[in-house]
Chains A and B, each alone.
Chain A
Amino acid sequence: MSMLKSSVGRKLTMAVTGAILVLFILGHVLGNMSIFVGPEGINAYAVHLRDLGPLLWVVRLVMLVVFVLHVWFGIQLTLENRAARPVDYQQKKNLVTTFAAKTMIVSGLVLLAFVIYHVLHFTLHVGVDNVDQLAKAYMGEHFDVYTMVVTGFGKAINVLVYVAAMILLFFHVSHGFQSFLQTLGLSNECVQPKYQAVGKFLALVVSIGFISIPVLIMVGIVKL
């Protein structure tokens, strides 16, 4: 299995882990949409998730392994790629590559920082006001996610961080989607432009879905 450590082997790992992460964020954004139903929407969704019990921890563990692999190989491959051209061109014109493709490591590292911030913020409740009160606020026994999110996005700095991160997510996924299909050997010159278009569309839908929450809270459409 040493071929899994080859350049193409690690590229396959990047593609498969990336696809799992995209599936996760698709589920995440769909789940988040329950906030537009109102407090009982997202709070019931949160209770259902917690009711999964051990299964929730299995999913969390798998996601952690997938995430660490994706980040680790991403950094490793980027360092190798930089080392492959020790003396740079005085002049170099790129003809077809995209902004998204060129900045994968930047968008990736910022998203890594964001994910850590996001888990600290909404999962571990670091910096959330009145955690003790929220803990039993939903139906007298469950955590009130709705109030936490709405008050959290009352702060402009949080809105800014989340919106900026989701714009980067758009670029990351828009390159990642077509890259995944190319890497799995499912691409050719006829379908490649279509993959790129579908990837952009998917990335746009996901990022707009995520961004809609802080923005609609900020403008006061979603409120306590």
Chain B
Amino acid sequence: MSEKTMNLTLYVWRQANAKAPGKMERYEAKGISPDMSFLEMLDVTNEQLIKQGIEPIVFDHDCREGICGMCSQVINGVPHGPEELVTVCQLHMRRFNDGDTIFIEPWRSKAFPIEKDLMVDRGAFDRIMQAYGYTSITCGGAPDANDHPIPKWQLDRAMDAAECIGCGACVAACPNASGMLFTAAKVAHLNMLPQGKPEGARRVKAMIAAHDLEGFGNCTNHYECEAACPKGVKTAFISYLNKELIKALPKGAQD
């Protein structure tokens, strides 16, 4: 354990509510241990702000284990900061140096309104899931292993897509604020498996329509989403989504 602590300069986006204009505020974070996570650094900074009579910074967090996807922070211009394949709670202050200046902003997208400071409303993703992010058959109890005759590679591929935690980093990173990687991951993990396949055509249409309705941008193949994704979800799934739509286009509503 390192005894040395760091002093940092933070520029943090402060915004009172969804309608209010926001701006970057400058704060000093003192006595930060390199072993702290980025969220713990914000906890300590907030304690210091409270002592100064400043309203603490609002930020979202839940599991702090890297799987809940609540921490909607763009750190120094990169969603979830400079560490690859992690969320903000798994980013540690040892990645920064004493005296560093750090910019912290919320996800910026019309589809994700800012509730306060660094906290955004990702309800748009929930509504895409409600559109067809499920299978409507009754599955009964948990099936036995190997119950479904499906090749291992296909299962693995579906599981790669299912790794998506719905954090929204893809939207935050996308130059067009498109939610296509999320939509693609959800369509892929269901359409690739025997349980989801029968409703594949309906699903891809419904989920793309729901995506568009939320005000996300359109995918133009920048691949920034893939680079920012904390779970390494590949843009190959967007290609798969496109193929699923091409296959679904000639089909009627009952297919």
Residues of A within 8 A of B (CB): 1, 3-4, 6-12, 77, 80-81, 83-97, 101-102, 104, 175, 178-179, 181-189, 192
Residue of A178, A181, A183, A185 most packed against chain B (CB within 10 A) = A185
How far apart are B185's CB and chain A's nearest CB, in angstroms? 14
Listed by A's residue number, 17 A-B pairs whose Cβ atoms lie within 8 Å are: A7-B212, A7-B216, A11-B218, A77-B220, A84-B111, A84-B177, A84-B216, A92-B74, A94-B224, A97-B175, A101-B222, A102-B175, A183-B221, A187-B236, A188-B236, A189-B234, A192-B235
How far apart are B154's CB and chain A's nearest CB, in angstroms? 14
Q: Is the CB of A85 within 8 A of B223?
A: no
**B-side interface residues, number (CB < 8 Å):** 52
A80-B218, A186-B239, A187-B235 known; 14 new pairs, CB 8 Å cut-off, are: A7-B208, A81-B217, A89-B74, A89-B105, A94-B175, A96-B227, A175-B221, A182-B239, A182-B242, A183-B221, A183-B239, A185-B241, A187-B236, A187-B239
User: Which residues of chain B are near A11, meaning CB under 8 Å?
Assistant: 218-220, 242
Interface string of B203-229 (1 = CB under 8 A from A): 001001101100111111111101110
Q: Tell me the complex Cα distance, A97–B236, Å.
A: 15
Q: Tell me the complex Cα distance, A156–B117, Å.
A: 56
Say which one of B44-52, B62-70, B130-138, B245-253 lies at the interface with A: B245-253
Q: Tell me the complex Cα distance, A210–B236, Å.
A: 34
The answer to whether residues A85 and B221 also contact, given A6-B212, A182-B242 and a CB cut-off of 8 A, is: no
User: Which residues of chain B are near A94, meaning CB under 8 Å?
Assistant: 175, 222, 224
Q: Tell me the complex Cα distance, A89–B224, Å.
A: 15
User: Which residues of chain B are near A86, meaning CB under 8 Å?
Assistant: 110
Q: Is the CB of B78 within 8 A of A84?
A: no
The answer to whether residues A9 and B245 also contact, given A81-B177, A188-B236 and a CB cut-off of 8 A, is: yes
How far apart are B180's CB and chain A's nearest CB, in angstroms? 7
How far apart are B244's CB and chain A's nearest CB, in angstroms? 7
Q: Is the CB of B246 within 8 A of A90?
A: no
User: Which residues of chain A are near B236, meaning CB under 8 Å?
Assistant: 187-189, 192
Task: Say yes or no for B37: interface residue by CB 8 A criterion.
Answer: no
